[in-house]
Amino acid sequence: MKYLLDTHIWIWGVSNPAKLSREVKDVLDNSSNEFFISSISIWEFLILVEKERITITEPLDDWLNTALLKSNINEIPVDKEIAIHSRKITLPHQDPADRFIAATALTHQLTLVTSDGKLSECREISVLYN
């Protein structure tokens, strides 16, 4: 299967797997699955570091490169189709990062792995809730 990891799932998978449910851990450990993140997740990560909501001990570029390689993640850049879907998708709020992430799952027909209750309510995409 193909999965899009929400920002926190990706970060927790790399740095704090104890926050992941058994079901999500099993999915992440299954080598036959493919994993993706939206480029928006990298942007969100940078903001979390800037706001000191996440602390890292190495340079940002090093952390990001290690995180992407360690978790065997493919990055999906935001494109025109994702941008269009971000405005059409039904979500209970206007958070731009969540809209881009949900739209990425929709556009690429990926199951979104998330711990965000609002994203899990989106009926247009397949969701695995943490």
Q: What percent of the chain has pLDDT over 90?
A: 81
The model's pLDDT over 116-130, given as tens digits with 9 standing for 90+, comes to 988 888 999 999 999
The residue ranges of every structural domain in the chain are: 2-129
Q: Which two tokens stand for residue 81?
A: 């189709």
Q: Which residues touch 114 (CB under 8 Å, ≥6 apart)?
A: 6, 8, 9, 120, 127, 128, 129, 130
Please state, in angstroms and as integers, the Cα–Cα distance from residue 21 to each residue in 45, 49, 91, following that order. 21, 24, 24
Q: Residue 46: pLDDT band by 50, 70, 90 thresholds?
A: very high
Q: Which two tokens stand for residue 127?
A: 């969701």
Residue 9 has pLDDT above 80, yes or no: yes
pLDDT reported for residue 112: 98
Residue of 75, 50, 80, 53 whose CA lies nearest to 65: 75
Residue 100 has pLDDT above 90, yes or no: yes
Residue 70 has pLDDT above 80, yes or no: no
Given the candidates 3.40.50.1010, 3.40.50.720, 2.30.33.40, 3.40.190.10, the CATH classification of the domain at 2-129 is 3.40.50.1010
pLDDT reported for residue 71: 73
Q: What is the pTM assigned to this prediction?
A: 0.93
- Strands of 111-114's sheet, edge to edge? 73-76, 34-38, 2-5, 111-114, 127-129
